[in-house]
Copies of this chain bind each other. A is one copy, B any other.
């Protein structure tokens, strides 16, 4: 009971009780607002939803990216941890890569505007981009390397380029029945395969 979570979260230990409380309130409010208004939602609105002042939000999450990453931290971690698991369980490294990308895409498309934020050149989201890369790039690289090793795909593809490409493909107005990023990503993966490997 005394031990907090194993990962390095809870960045408000040692703070005053009201501060800790407010942090959680803001997180919950942000999660709620993000669903309906996207991760671009005005800070004022999130503050109103949480019943706190704007400064409180900025104090706990100096950057919008900090707020967004805090809200989705668990899901991003889960995605990162799924990489090695899939690699161990799947039929082939390439199959693991494909399923992991599916997971990543599922995560992205269900967060209104998150993919847009990831690829935007907006200064406010730079840290968000960095966090995703820090956490997911090594996983992607591992899956990619294993696939090359197994001879499933041709070598030479950079993990960063692939990740960003996938993120880009998931961006834009969603809900358009004419556009399903998954189909294009499947095409991309198809292009990645060795010509001789089926």
Contact = CB atoms under 8 A, between A and B. Distances in A.
Contact of A120 (B161, B172, B184, B189): B172
Interface in A146-198: 157-158, 160-162, 164-165, 168-169, 171-174, 178-181, 183-184, 186-192, 195, 198
A190 B162 CA distance: 15
Contact of A121 (B121, B173, B180, B198): B173
Interface of A: 113, 116, 119-121, 157-158, 160-162, 164-165, 168-169, 171-174, 178-181, 183-184, 186-192, 195, 198
A124 to B, nearest CB: 13
Contacts of A184: 161-162, 165, 188
How many copies of the shown chain assemble into the complex? 2
Given A188-B184, A188-B188, A172 B178 contact: no
B169 A165 contact: yes
A178 B157 CA distance: 11
Contacts of A192: 187, 191
A192 B189 CA distance: 10
A39 B102 CA distance: 33
A7 to B, nearest CB: 28
A172 B164 contact: yes
A191 B169 CA distance: 15
Contacts of A187: 157, 188, 191-192
